[in-house]
Amino acid sequence: MNLKEIASRLQEFKSVCVTGNPVMLRNRTDFLDIISAYGLTMDMNVSKKTGLLIVCSDSMQKKIDRADALNIPIVSEQQWFELMPELEAAGMWNGKPISFADDDGIYRFDVGGDG
Distance CA 46, CA 25 (A): 21
- pLDDT-derived band of residue 94, with 50, 70 and 90 as boundaries? confident
Listed by start position, the domains of the chain span 3-96
Asked whether residue 109 carries a pLDDT value surpassing 50, the answer given is no
- pLDDT-derived band of residue 102, with 50, 70 and 90 as boundaries? low
Distance CA 59, CA 49 (A): 20
Residues near 15 by beta carbon (within 8 Å), at least 6 away in sequence: 40, 41, 42, 43, 49, 50, 51, 52
Instruction: Note the CATH architecture for domain 3-96.
Output: 3-Layer(aba) Sandwich (3.40)
